[in-house]
Amino acid sequence: MKPRLDGRRAALAAALLALALVPAVADEFYVVLFTKILVLGIFAMSLDLLVGYTGLPSLGHAAYFGAAAYAAMVLAPESAPANLLLTLPASVLVAALLALATGALAVRTAGMYFIMVTLAFGQMAYFAVHDSPYLGGSDGKLLFARPVVAFGGAAILDFAEPQVYYLLVLACLAGSYGILRAVVQSPFGRVIQGIRVNEARMQALGYATYRYKLASFAIGGAFAGLAGYLAAYQAEYVNPKLLGWQESGLALVMVILGGVGTLHGAVLGSAAIVLLQEFFSELTSHWMLLLGLFIVGSVIWLPHGIVGIRAWARRARTR
Amino acid sequence: MTGEPVIRTDGLTRRFGALTAVDAVSLEFTAGRIHAVIGPNGAGKTTFLNLLSGNLRPTTGSVRLRGREIAGAPVHAIARLGVGRSYQRTNVFPEFTCFENCRLGAQARLSSSMRFFKPADAYAGVNADAERALSLCRLSHRRDDAADVLSHGERRQLELGMMLATSPSVLLLDEPLAGMGAAEAGLMLDLIKGLASDHTIVLVEHDMDAVFSTADVITVMVGGRALETGTPAAIQVSPAVREAYLGAAKGAPAP
């Protein structure tokens, strides 16, 4: 068990190092593309905590992603950059609290009802933003500039350069992965995985499962919020689509395509979707059709997602 | 009857619409005894267990655990008071290892599992409890095997181990021998007998030979009512039981 764990650590370190070198070797176009992959990677990981570990297939996860994006916009000064050290935690908190409030009702339901309730909350959040002139309505709103890290009024780090912003996003992804990995291996993590398999049995063992599901939902919401904050400042623009069900559905596809219940699979899923979107849209204006076919094919032939490829290849060899 | 009852039910009743599944059952369960509840199908035995474990709320009546009213309390709260429950349908976590199944049981004894950062397998006390439960249910040699590769009998043992890992004082066993071969059933009976000295055991079981050879006290339930309670010898010769239970089969031996 030990050596395999160390092998995983080495692979992780190598992947992080390679990602950190992207700005040094690649064009700005790719830096921006990779920023998008990593932001959506954080978002998909946060959903994997719910879907893959807790067994809560949310179709409204973008509500928390978008809520933090809008919080970032509201908290940003009109004509000066915001301070990241204040606005990032505040935006994440907004997302977490919204998840806590809506989750308190949603996690009382299960299965199809849970899907419907989260979808309904997601659409409520979407229309709340869409119909609010103060938040920019259906047009959305521009952000004045990327945030800065400021101490005592003096900005010591700014993220105007896409390369620097990319490194910020990469650091957030690494931090999120580290925290979520620890969480799923903690006693809490074991409880939510038990709930996914058999909630009634967990209750019979003495676990008040509702609390654990709600905590997981709020943690997932918080990390979705982190991704939403980073997405808002990558585009320097927010619009209601960030909260829509398409965004929730896309995150779900990323998780399933990458491999449910693995965390890193969610990031691979994000990379696959973003790169394929890019690739297919160069080929044809009907790229959605190609992407759809690809997803159908991968679900049929790669039921365990991209992370299942190795096991799949091993089986194919021995056959 | 010696010793204070650990569980005492008083007029315990559960109705489903017009059907009274459990009808004014007043019983006492004493520590250190195997108390079997038998009766024909539909007699209300499993419903009775569900009322004790909190899976169902009673319509009326009370359940006291060491004098404390627990009727209507949620399942997890009753479990944390030391009432372990095994199910008729095997209910283990198939994709987890045997050790992890027991570890989940043992971890339920922590004051709270809202612990987010230290790895779960770094809790030495929990690990020790899990290992102890594994050896109690005689599955130490299967420690790192996933539960879904176990035989049916081994899964029933694991179900018991998971429950024992929570260190319960009361064991509610719902047909622990169901679907077992003779050898497996013998092992399971040995296990249960070994647990009797320091647990209060409520055993619902259809295997009459097993019940009459292991139980210290037997309650016969018919149509939701507790017809008679006594030693196996007394139950065997009770005219009322013969008439209501065995008599239903027109004098034929019990199934």
What tens digit of pLDDT does each residue of B146-187 get? 999 999 999 999 999 999 999 999 999 999 998 888 899 999
Q: Is 50 exceeded by the pLDDT of residue B255?
A: no
Written in H, E and C, the secondary structure of chain B is CCCCEEEEEEEEEEEECCEEEEEEECCEEECCCEEEEECCCCCCHHHHHHHHHCCCCCCEEEEEECCEECCCCCHHHHHHCCEEEECCCCCCCCCCEHHHHHHHHHHCCCCCCCCCCCCHHHCHHHHHHHHHHHHHCCCHHHCCCEHHHCCHHHHHHHHHHHHHHCCCCEEEEECCCCCCCHHHHHHHHHHHHHHHCCCEEEEECCCHHHHHHHCCEEEEEECCEEEEEECHHHHHHCHHHHHHHHHHHCCCCCC
Contact check, Cβ <8 Å, B104/A190: yes
Q: How far does the CA of residue B100 sit from the closest CA of chain A (Å)?
A: 9
> Are B254 and B150 found together in one domain?
no
Q: Are residues B121 and B224 in the same domain?
A: no
Domain that includes residue A90, residue range: 22-318
Instruction: Taking residues A21-36, report their average pLDDT.
Output: 95
- Interface confidence, given as ipTM, is 0.90
- A178 assigned to some structural domain: yes
Clarify whether residues B43 and B146 are in a common domain: no
Count of domains observed in chain B = 2
Task: Note whether B119 contacts A186, CB cutoff 8 Å.
Answer: yes
| B117 plus B239 within the same structural domain | no
pLDDT band per the 50, 70, 90 thresholds, residue A319: low
Per DSSP bridges, beta strands B170-174 and B83-86 are parallel
Give the chain A residue whose CA is nearest to the CA of B78. A206
C-alpha pair distances (Å), A50 with each of A47, A217, A251, B152 = 5, 6, 12, 32
Q: Are residues B107 and B211 in the same domain?
A: no
With beta carbons less than 8 A apart as the criterion, state whether A224 and A61 touch.
yes
* A12 located within any domain: no
Q: Which helix (H) or strand (E) holds A95?
A: helix A84-106
Q: What long-range pairs does A132-136 form, CB within 8 A, spacing at least 24?
A: A135/A70, A135/A73, A135/A74, A136/A73, A136/A238, A136/A239
Asked if residue B241 is part of any domain, the answer here is yes
What digits encode the pLDDT tens for the residues A139-149? Answer: 999 998 899 99
Question: Is A9 domain-assigned?
Answer: no
- State which of B115, B138, B168 marks the end of a domain: B168
Min Cα distance B108 → chain A (Å) is 6
Angle at B71 between CA A198 and CA B54, to 5 degrees: 10
pLDDT tens track for B20-51: 999 999 999 999 999 999 998 889 999 999 99
Q: Is residue B177 domain-shared with residue B71, that is, in the same domain? A: yes
pLDDT band at A287 (very low <50, low <70, confident <90, very high): confident
d(CA B132, CA B109): 14
Tell me the chain B residues in contact with residue A211 when contact means C-beta distances shorter than 8 Å: 114
Residue B151 and residue B132 in one domain = yes
Range of the domain at B100: 92-168
Residue B222 pairs in a beta bridge with B225
Instruction: Assess B88–A contact: CB distance below 8 Å, yes or no.
Output: no
Q: Distance between CA atoms of A242 and A235, rounded to whole angstroms?
A: 11
At A130, which amino acid appears?
Answer: H
The reply to whether A183 falls in a domain is yes
Query: Does residue B49 lie within any of the structural domains?
Result: yes
Is B53 close to A187, i.e. CB distance below 8 A? no
Convert the pLDDT of each residue in A74-97 to its tens digit: 999 988 899 999 999 999 999 999
Do B198 and B153 belong together in one domain?
A: no
In angstroms, the separation between the Cα of residue A95 and the nearest Cα of chain B is 19
Instruction: State the pTM of this model.
Output: 0.92
Answer whether residue A313 is part of any domain.
yes
Domain boundary among B135, B168, B201: B168
Do B176 and B67 reside in the same domain of the chain?
yes
Q: How many CB pairs below 8 Å do chains A and B form together?
A: 90
HSE on the CB side for B161, CA within 13 Å? Answer: 31
CB A66 within 8 A of CB A130: no
Q: Which string of DSSP letters, residue by residue, matches A179-214?
A: HHHHHHHSHHHHHHHHHHHHHHHHHHHT--HHHHHH
CB-based contacts of A139, cutoff 8 Å, min separation 6: A239
pLDDT of A305 strictly over 50: yes
Which tokens go with A43? 């978002």
Same domain, B184 and B148: no
Contact A208 B91 (CB under 8 A): no
- Our CA dihedral for A148, A49, B126, B68, rounded to 10 degrees, sits at 110
B72 and B183 together in one domain: yes
For residues A202-220, average pLDDT:
97
Is residue B239 predicted with pLDDT exceeding 90?
no
pLDDT at B247: 58
Cβ contact B107–A208 (<8 Å) = no
Do A235 and A117 touch, CB atoms closer than 8 A?
no
The answer to the question of residue A293 being in a domain is: yes
- pLDDT above 70 covers a percentage of chain B that reads 95
Instruction: Report yes or no: B103 at the A interface, CB cutoff 8 Å.
Output: yes
Q: Is residue B23, in this structure, part of any structural domain at all?
A: yes
Distance CA A88, CA A82 (A): 9
CATH value at residue A208 = 1.10.3470
Residues B189 and B153 in one domain: no
Query: Would the CB atoms of B123 and A187 count as touching at under 8 Å?
Result: yes
Domain closes at, from B123, B139, B168: B168
Contact A182 B105 (CB under 8 A): no
Q: Is residue B227 part of a domain?
A: yes
Domains of chain A: total? 1
Roughly what angle, to the nearest 10 degrees, separates helices A245-258 and A111-130?
Answer: 130
Taking contacts as CB-CB distances below 8 angstroms, the residues of chain B near A52 are none
pLDDT tens digits for A226-261? 999 999 999 999 999 999 999 999 999 999 999 999
Domain assignment present for B87:
no
Chain A positions in Cβ-Cβ contact with residue B110 (cut-off 8 Å) = 187
Average pLDDT score over residue span B127-148: 96
